[in-house]
Amino acid sequence: MSYLKIPKNYKPLLDMRQTELGIKKVKDFFQGSLSAELRLRRVTAPLFVLKGQGINDDLNGVERAVTFPIKDLGDQRAEVVHSLAKWKRLMLSEYGIEPGYGLYTDMNAIRSDESLGNLHSLYVDQWDWERTITKEDRTIDFLKDIVSRIYSVMVRTEYVVYEMYPNIKPELPQKITFIHAEKLRQLYPDKTPKERENIITKKYGAVFIMGVGGPLGDGEKHDGRAPDYDDWTTIGEDGLPGLNGDILVWNNILEQAMELSSMGIRVDKEALLRQLKMTGQEEREKLYFHKRLIDGTLPLSIGGGIGQSRLCMFFLRKAHVGEIQASIWPEDMRKTCKENNIPLI
């Protein structure tokens, strides 16, 4: 079901020409800076993968992938990717990338089950990145260090936009705040996960919520996460499970928290088997990706995705992701946006 939030007295700070120039500036600067900061090389990514190999990202485990038959493969079916969470780890192995180095790619996806709105589109574009790590790196401290370095690139990007368009004032705090989803639940036990996100992100401006995917103290999850890429069950140095999380920033235009990145230290063999059992998906152990991981032929890694359109939307102070990317929207949404000075592409 679609949802649209209309900011009061909204007026874009940039016209469509300025917006397109701004999009290019943000994308060029951010990916170059991210590559240098984390020592990532760019690689070419697939738009679709073969079904039944366990390579596609399952997101929350319920979203349906767009599929089509391949004539020259006897109508074997391919799936348009949701993201490249697992494919990237295979590529780390294929390229023989050593610990401390990694890769990134421009990922384009179609998510047909998405609930459309200001932040959600059928079309998803993000920088998918993955970096080889050692066993000793599988700690909360290492995760926080990588998050802080990614966030520093976001802060620098915001300043580059300010230099280009002085009417767009920087808003991000210099440092990001870390909090575990269980501690956040304990602070606001009577609130929903989304309400908690809004409260904590408005308070600090930018937060990284850790431990996403596993059950919290009340038995509920902060948010869903597939069992076969992020490690959300290993006990970290803070005594709470979860070596993953989400980067959120406060969006002053929409007056709500806005997720810019989902990331984490990836499952090792033990975490994979444990999380598959917890979710009742042991049958995945027979799939190509999972067998490679269980056999020990895939490197340990950390990785994530950073939304390109969302990043541009935030830095260029837009009210709707449709002001950044070309997609399909319900006709009533287009009409309402036009009436409220929100020019969808």
From the list 228, 246, 268, 323, the catalytic residue is 246
248 backbone dihedrals φ, ψ, rounded to 5° = -125, 145
DSSP per residue, 308-324: HHHHHHHHTT-S-GGGT
Question: Is-catalytic flag, 270?
Answer: no
- Crossing angle of helices 288-295 and 87-95, in 10° steps, is 50
Strand partners, 69: 77
Region of residue 9 (left: phi > 0; alpha: psi -120 to 50; beta: else): left
262 has catalytic annotation:
yes
Question: From the centroid of its chain, how far is CA 110?
Answer: 14
State the alpha helices, DSSP H only, in 205-264: none
Residue 262 phi, psi (nearest 5): -120, 130
259 catalytic? Reply is yes
Catalytic member of 31, 58, 111, 138: 111
Q: Which of 31, 35, 83, 126 is catalytic?
A: 126
Catalytic choice (57, 58, 114, 323): 57
Of the residues 63, 171, 223, 259, only one is catalytic, namely 259
Catalytic annotation present for 126: yes
Does the active-site annotation cover 246?
yes
The answer to whether 213 and 225 are in contact (CB under 8 A) is yes
Query: Which residue out of 31, 83, 121, 262 is catalytically annotated?
Result: 262
Looking at residue 29, its amino acid is F
- φ, ψ of residue 108 in degrees (nearest 5): -120, 130
The residues carrying an active-site annotation are 57, 111, 126, 246, 259, 262
